[in-house]
């Protein structure tokens, strides 16, 4: 029996399979989208849907909770990856 890799979404705190999530890496207080799931740094996971991306932007969790600066095109990059 193969164990499914699950990660926790930072907004809903629900567990999802890795394939249903975006990986965001915090490196030197900068948020970076990691489509390969292999970058070094603090990894955060966000559910792959438009509402989650808009909610993350509206709440500003990356800036507030993780003290990371977010590039201008970061959220647009996430939306394009859907």
Asked whether residue 1 is assigned to any structural domain, the reply reads: no
Q: How many domains does the chain contain in total?
A: 1
Give the residue numbers spanning the domain of 35.
6-80
Q: How confident is the model at residue 2 (pLDDT cuts 50, 70, 90)?
A: confident
Q: How confident is the model at residue 27 (pLDDT cuts 50, 70, 90)?
A: very high
Quickly tell me which residue has 């438009």 as its tokens. Answer: 50
The helix (H) or strand (E) run that includes residue 59 is helix 50-59
**For position 64, which CATH number holds?**
3.30.1230.10
Q: How confident is the model at residue 3 (pLDDT cuts 50, 70, 90)?
A: confident
Report how far residue 51's alpha carbon sits from residue 55's, in angstroms, rounded to the nearest whole number.
Answer: 6
Question: HEC string of 8-46?
Answer: EECCCCCEEEHHHEEEEEEECCEEEECCCCCCCCEEEEE
Note whether 69 and 63 are within 8 A (CB): yes
């Amino acid at each position: 029996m193969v164990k499914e890799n699950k990660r926790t979404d930072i907004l809903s705190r629900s567990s999802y399979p890795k394939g249903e999530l975006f990986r965001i890496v915090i490196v030197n207080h900068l948020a970076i989208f990691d489509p390969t799931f292999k970058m070094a740094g603090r990894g955060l996971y966000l559910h792959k849907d438009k509402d989650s991306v808009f909610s993350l932007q509206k709440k500003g969790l990356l800036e507030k909770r993780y003290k990371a600066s977010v590039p201008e095109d970061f959220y647009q990059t996430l939306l394009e990856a859907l």
